[in-house]
Amino acid sequence: MPILNEAQHKIVSDAVAEAELTTSGEIVPVIAEMSDGYSDVAMVWAAVASFTAMSLLVAFPDLAMAKWDMLFTGGWGDSEWTMGQFTSLVVGFGLLKFVGVWLFLLIPKLRFWLVPGPVKRLRVRARAIKHFKVGAERRTHGRTGVLLYVSMREHRAEIVADEAIADLVEPEVWGEAMADMLDEIRKDCIAEGIAAGVRDVGKVLAPHFPRAEDDQNELPDRLIEL
């Protein structure tokens, strides 16, 4: 299901066309539902749960063996466990714990809830850079492409600029564009927020990269929805 409808796409496309009237820079807005599936995070949580479970069994072996006898032999189990039997119990329980937690975290909402904030931030940044390299980097004559990337599930956004722009514009300068964009998105005005960010980026680019009379539009003026 699309994130934005046709009318909302037009709001962003019009903002890109308007912003590029004053600059030779090329602005590429991108919106994604989510930046990563975080399957590796689910594996890490499953491994942590498994290791913790095995560590508890090793820390309290008498209790573990007594519980096993009570559950499966009614308390009539062998009074003496061999090292091999106890090792099998520990490893088997650890494997069951791993599989159980991993299956539990196949539910996307639960898996996503357990992803640490710094990991989300890094994944969104990495995905933004990846899309920039594919869709905007060095695809303009003056290397003046800028990508605005919004990841809805992570509630995060990134601005990535081409070499010529990065050499002249400090990263902190994009703060106003980011703030204006996120202010609107928090109000559930997603298209309006991206449009505001696009216009702010255009204002930043205009003094450094003014539009020439023979300037050509090298990248499409539209919102890319992933």
pLDDT by residue (tens digit) across 97-145? 999 999 999 998 889 999 999 999 999 999 999 888 876 655 556 577 8
Listed residues 80, 113, 146: the one ending a domain: 113
β-strand 145-151 against 156-161: which pairing, if any?
antiparallel
User: Same domain, yes or no, for 70 and 103?
Assistant: yes
For residues 22 and 72, membership in a common domain is answered with no
More confident residue, 91 or 67: 91
**In this structure, are residues 146 and 29 in contact, taking their beta carbons and an 8 Å threshold?**
no
The whole-angstrom separation of Cα 146 and Cα 149 is 10
158 and 194 co-located in one domain: yes
200 in any annotated domain? yes
Taking the model in full, what pTM does it have?
A: 0.78
Q: Does residue 187 sit in the same domain as residue 212? A: yes
pLDDT score recorded for residue 151: 94
Residue 30 and residue 47 in one domain: no
| Residues 186, 79 share a domain | no
Query: Residues 154, 35: contact at Cβ < 8 Å?
Result: yes
Q: Which of 55-59, 85-89, 141-145, 211-215 has the highest mean pLDDT?
A: 55-59
Q: Is 225 helix (H, G, I), strand (E, B) or coil?
A: strand
Residues 155, 203, single domain; the answer is yes
- The two structure tokens encoding residue 124: 């969104």
Same domain, 84 and 19: no
Contact of 105 with 166, CB cutoff 8 Å: no
Q: Are residues 134 and 86 in the same domain?
A: no
**Residues 123, 172 within the same domain:** yes
89's tokens: 């119990």
Domain boundary among 88, 113, 138: 113
Range of the domain at 21: 6-36+116-225
Tell me what pLDDT residue 45 has.
94
146/165 Cα distance (integer angstroms):
8
